[in-house]
Amino acid sequence: MNIHKFVMPEVIFGKSSIQQVGESCLRLGATNVLIVSDPGVIAAGWLDVIVKSCQQAGLHYTTFYDVTINPKDSEVEKGCCVYIENECDAIIGVGGGSPIDVAKAIAILATNGGQIRDYEGVDKIHHPLPPQVMVSTTAGSGSEVSQFSVIVDTKEKKKMTIVSRSLIPDIAIIDPETLSTKSAHLTASTGLDVLTHGIEAYVSLAATPLTDVQAKNAISLVAQYLRPSVASKMNEEAKTNMAMASLQAGLAFSNAILGAVHAMSHAVGGKYNLLHGDVNSILLPHVMEYNLLANPKKFADIALFLGVDTRGLSAMEAGKKAIDYVKQLAIDIGAPQRLADIGVEKDELQKMSVVAFHDACMITNPRDVTVEDIQELFRKAW
**pLDDT per position as a tens digit, 328-351:** 999 999 999 999 999 999 999 999
User: Burial level of 204, CB count in 10 A (0-12/13-18/19+)?
Assistant: buried
The answer, as to whether pTM is greater than 0.85, is yes
Q: Which CATH number fits domain 10-178: 3.40.640.10, 3.20.20.70, 3.40.50.1970, 3.40.309.10?
A: 3.40.50.1970
Q: Kindly tell me if the per-residue pLDDT of 382 is higher than 90.
A: yes
CB atoms within 10 A of CB 245: 30
| Cα 343–Cα 347–Cα 348 angle in degrees, nearest 5 | 70
Predicted local confidence at residue 2, as pLDDT: 79
Q: Give the mean pLDDT of 181-200.
A: 97
List Cβ neighbours of 167 (8 Å cut-off, separation of 6 or more): 104, 107, 108, 125, 129, 146, 147, 148, 149
Q: Kindly tell me if the per-residue pLDDT of 1 is higher than 80.
A: no
- CATH level 2 (architecture), domain 182-381: Up-down Bundle (1.20)
**CA dist list (Å): 177 to 44, 121, 137:** 12, 35, 8
Predicted local confidence at residue 143, as pLDDT: 95
In the chain, what are the domain boundaries?
10-178, 182-381
β-pairing verdict for 60-64 and 32-36: parallel
Q: Give the mean pLDDT of 33-51.
A: 96
DSSP 6-44: ----EEEESTTGGGGHHHHHHHTT-SEEEEE--HHHHHH
Residue of 104, 125, 103, 110 lying closest to 80 (CA atoms) = 110
Q: pLDDT tens digit string along 133-149?
A: 999 999 889 999 999 99
Q: pLDDT tens digit string along 343-376?
A: 999 999 999 999 999 999 999 999 999 999 999 9
Give Cα 132 to chain centroid, integer Å.
Answer: 17
Q: Kindly tell me if the per-residue pLDDT of 100 is higher than 60.
A: yes
